[in-house]
Structure 1
Amino acid sequence: MSADSIGRRLYYLGSCFGEEARYIAELLSEIQGLRCFNMSSEESLAKEKEALEEYAISGLAGQTVREHVLDVGELERFTEELRDGSDQNFERYLTLRMDSCDDKLKDDDLKREESFLQSTLTAAEEGLRLLIEKKIPFRRPDDYMAEMIKSDEHMQKVRSQLSFEKERIDAAVRRRAERDNTKNTKKRQRQKEQERKKREKDEVLGLEQARKGRLKAKQQARQSGGKGEGDLEDNDDLSTALFQDGTPIPPRKKRSGRNENRSAPNGKQKFRSKSDSNKPPRDRKFNGGIQKQKPQRNGPKKKFGAKKRPGKDRRNQMKNKR
C-alpha cells in the first residue's frame, strides 16, 4: 500500500473517529511529503472509498445499519399506481382518480368551482359504491365507545355556556312576546276607543235626526192646522225622542205639592234685602249675595325707609350750589 493511500485512509478515519487519527495523518503527510488530496485517478479514488466504507461498517458489528437506496424505477412504478386510480388499487390506497378539469375553465371562477364540486360528488358516490362492493367497513359500530378527549371540567364549561346561550335566547323571545302583547293591547284599546266614539256619534246623529223629524212634523201640523206633536212645548227636546223599540218618551210632569217658598222644603227662593231679619241662616254666610267691601290695595304708595341716593349729576349740582 502506498504512502498516499495510507494518508488518505488515516485522514478519512480521522473525520469519522476523532481528531487523533486526523493528527496522525497530517503528521505522516508532513514527514513523508505526501499530498492526501492529490488523486491519481477516479478509479483509485472510488476503490479506496469503498475500502474505507467496508472498514467503517466492519467496526459496527452487532448494530443495525439502515441503508438508503434510491430506486428511481420503483418510485415511478408506485407513482403510476397512484395515478391509475383503478379498482384494483382502491382497496390499498382508498383513492380515486377523476377526470381533470378543462383548461378553458381556468379564467372562469364560477364554472371552475362548479366543476370541482361535481367531481367531488362523483368521487364520493363512486367511493361509497366500491366500499360496499368490496365489503370494506366504513360505518362506526353501534357498540363503539370512544374515549373522551376533553376533560370533565372543560365539558362543564361548555355545558354552562350552552345553558347561558339558551337562557339568553329564551329571554329575548319572552321580551319580544311582551312587546307584541303590548302592541296588540294598545291596538285593541284604540279599536275600542274608535268604536265608542263611533257609537256616540251615531247616537248624536240619531237624536239630531229625531229632533229634525219632530220639527218637520210640527211645521206640517201647523200648516195643516191640525193637532199633533207640534202643539208640544218648544223647549221639550226629549219629548219626541224614541227608544230603541220606537216607543216615544212621555213628557215630564210637574211635581205635585211644590212650595213656592224655597226657604221651606221644596220651596222657591225669593230675593230678600240685606236688612231682612227673617233671612234663613243658610243665606247669612253668603251675605245675601252682596260682595263685602274689601280694603283698597292699589292706593297711594307710602314712603318707607331711607331716601334713595341722588345721581352723580345731581350731586355735582348740589356741590356747586354750596
Structure 2
Amino acid sequence: MADFEDQSGSESEESLVTHRELQEAFSRGALKPGLNIVLEGKKKALNNVDGLKQCLSEFKQHLEWVERLDVTLAQASNIISPTLSQTPDKASPDPEDDFQREMSFYHQAQAAVLTALPQLHHLKVPTRRPDDYFAEMAKTDQQMQKIRQKLRSKQAAMEKSEKAKQLRALRKYGKKVQIEVLQKRQKEKATMLNAVKKYQKGLSDKLDFLDGEHPPPRGKKEGAGGQRVKKGPNAKRRYKNQKFGFGGKKKGSKWNTRESHDDVSSFRAKVAHNKVSGKAGKKGFNKRPGKKMRQKMKSRAG
C-alpha cells in the first residue's frame, strides 16, 4: 500500500508540473491552436574553439612518440585503380565505390607504416617478432583446443568422405573390368567350342585353338603385298615332329614313276607267279578251301 501511495503522489506532482508549464506558456502566448507545437527552427550549433581547446588540454597527456605511435599524413597519392578518372596526384576515391574506398584505406595505412618504420629503426625499436616471442592470446587455451578439435573432426570427415568416393569409383571400375573379362572369356569359350565342333564334323583339320592360336579371319589370307600367305603345319604336327622327328614324305610314296617303271632288275618271275619249288611252294599252294567246298566236304563225311 505504501508503494502505491508513493506512486500516486509522484504522478500527482508530475501532473502539477505539467499544468504549471502550460499556464506559463499560455501567459507568454506560446500556446497556439492545434495539437502540435510548431518549432521556430533548428538551434544553431556554436563552434566554441576556445572551449574545445581547453577540454583537449585537460585530458591530453604529453607522452613521447614511441609511446603514442601516432602518424598523421595527407591523403596517399599512389592509389592505383583502373576506375579512377582523376590524375594520380589529385586522386580522390568515390565514397560510394566499395573497392576504391577500401583501397584508399589500404594505401593510407601502407604510407603510415612506411613513415613510421624509419623512426622506429632510428630509436632502435625492433619491428620484427623474435622466434621465442610469447604473447597472451585473446582466446583461452580451452577455447582454442575446442576449435582445434572441431577443425580436426571436420578434416577427418572430409577425408573419410573423399576415401568413400574413391572406393566407390574403384568398385565401379573393378566391376567394369570384371564384366569385360567375363565377356572376353565367354567369347573365347564360344570360339573354342565352335572350332571343336568344326573339327569333329571334319570341316577343319587344324587344332590351333588348343595352343591358344586363333586362325586369321576370312578374307584376310593375303599378306601386305597382296601375296597369298603360306601356312605351316599345325600345333599337333609340330609337337609330333619335335618329339619323334620328321619321317619324310608319306603320301604318294608308292606311286610309279618313269624310272621305277623302266627298272625291272628286282623282278622275279617265279615269285611273281607263285612258281617256287620245294616245300615253300607246296605251302604256297596249300590254301584253305572256300565255304561251299567246306560244306560239301562236311556233307560227304557225314
TM-score by length of 2: 0.36
Q: Relative CO higher for 1 or 2, CA cutoff 8 Å, sep ≥ 6? A: 2
TM-score by length of 1: 0.34
